[in-house]
Amino acid sequence: MTPTYYLLLSALLFTIGAVGVLVRRNAIVVFMCIELMLNAVNLSLVTFSRINGSLDGQIMAFFVMVVAAAEVVVGLAIIMSIFRTRRTASVDDSNLLKY
């Protein structure tokens, strides 16, 4: 197996995540798609680390995991607060601010 396949897989996962953010309507699902994008990046970081023969990429993947965890804390808090107010997590219903 050449490492290139992992890069392609990571690009595919990233694209699936990005498309998901654009087409899904539930804030939680949108957020999960963003997490998918971050994990796709982790995969390519580790693959590049292997290709380059240095450990930097693997260390960076840990950084990304920590940051993603922090993002979950903040993100779920915000989504929870709007869900408790509106009884829905659909991003289409948050439409007071426009034009």
Partner 1 sequence: MSLMSSVLLLAQEQPAPPKVEAPPVSAIWPILIVLGAACLSVLFEALLPKHLRWPAQVTLALLTIAAAGVKLVTYVSDAPAAGETAMFGTLAVDRPALFLWGTLLALSLGAVLLIADRSVEPGGAFVASAAIRPGTIQDRAQVASTGMQTEVFPLTLFALGGMMVFCAANDLLTMFVALEVLSLPLYLMCGLARRRRLLSQEAAVKYFLLGAFASAFFLYGVALLYGYAGSVRLADIAEAAAGSDRSDTLLFAGMGLLVVGLLFKAAVGPFHTWTPDVYQGAPTPVTAFMAACTKVAAFGGILRVLQVALESTQWEWRGVLWGVAIVSMVIGAVLGLTQTDVKRMIAYSSVAHAGFLLIGSIALTEKGLSGTLFYLLTYGFTTIATFGVISLVRDSSGEATHLSQWAGLAKRSPLLAGVFTFLLLALAGIPLTSGFVGKFVVFEAALADGMAPLVVVALIASAVAAFFYLRVIVLMYFSEPAADGPTVTVPGAFTTAAITLGVIVTLLLGVAPAFALDWASSGVFAIR
The residues of the shown chain that bind partner 1, judged by CB under 8 A, are 7, 14, 17-18, 21, 27, 30-31, 34, 37-38, 40-41, 44-45, 47-48, 51-52, 54, 56-57, 60, 63-64, 67, 70-71, 74-75, 77-79, 81-82, 84-86, 91, 94, 96-99
Shortest Cβ distance from residue 1 to partner 1 (Å)?
17
* Rounded-to-integer distance, Cα 18 and Cα 91, Å: 16
- Contact 98/31 with Cβ under 8 angstroms? no
CB nearer partner 1, residue 1 or residue 74: 74
Q: Which is nearer to partner 1, 1 or 19 (CB)?
A: 19
In angstroms, the CA 60 to CA 84 distance is 36
Supply the minimum distance, in Å, between the C-beta of residue 4 and partner 1.
11
> DSSP labels for 53-93?
T-SHHHHHHHHHHHHHHHHHHHHHHHHHHHHHHHS--BTTS
Q: 1 vs 96, which CB is nearer to partner 1?
A: 96
